[in-house]
Structure 1
Amino acid sequence: MSPSRWFEGQLKQIAALVLVSTVLLTADFVGLLSLVTGNAVNVGIRFPVYVLVMAVAFVVTIVGLARYDADGRTVLSAATGVAILALVVGMLAGEGIVYAYRAPEAVLNSILFYFIAAGLIATGLSFWTVNYWRDFTRAATADEADV
């Protein structure tokens, strides 16, 4: 494979990741707004779907991490964290989509561009965190060793 084709493939993957992440985070911000302002109605009816998303994330994480040489405690704590994050993100995104569907003028007229900008910034920060979190754990371990 030529370097230019590899680069094009990588660029498409990064663009897709940024697009999906930005849309998801924008929906999360709209969902948070709907919950805070009291515009989220009948959340209890949709809550079982959010719990199902959480359960799927839990199982996928356990199965995915089972391939690595991690101890059971690490796998369970990571799966629990991912499941809770999936519940929160799924619920906020779901409520954001419902709110945007029910009151599109409220979302489009005043806040959508701010949320898209915030979604893009959060995507960048998330990408940075995933790729550089080890630098902080190494720095913390080095600081503790100096003491």
Structure 2
Amino acid sequence: MPVFSFLLNVLWVVTGGVWMALGWLIAALLMAVSIIGLPWARSALTIAHYTLLPFGQTAVRRDEIRGRGDLGTGGLGFIGNILWFVFAGWWLALGHLFAAVGLAITIIGLPFAWAHLKLAMLALWPIGTEIVPVDALERRRVWGRV
């Protein structure tokens, strides 16, 4: 992880990013309680890690990275995203939105507010995305694989 991303991640955790990561963990635990929610629980754990350390990583659709569709990027992923939105996505997105508004009040908090807005969008429709390091994504774009 580059130094600048590391510093931003430290500031992110200090300014409250850990609370939204905890929200994602709670969502993962609630989904794991039911056997039916296990696929969503795994995704929520992945995004909880991303929410804890968002700088230096990005969310990208899996079919853009792999060059082909899969279950999460097709019709079943669409249905899964609708179920996710109903049961957990809207309140996680709302939490990120409130955090973004609170951080956007100050000029120093603007980069963190922007990160919360990106996470709010991801919270609404997470299935079919993959979290990748930004530098790996740039290397793929240079070599023409994305």
Indicate whether the TM-score tops 0.5. no
What TM-score results when the alignment is normalised by the length of structure 1? Answer: 0.31
Specify the structure having the higher radius of gyration (Cα): 1
What TM-score results when the alignment is normalised by the length of structure 2? Answer: 0.31
Greater fraction of residues in helix: 1
Greater fraction of residues in strand: 2
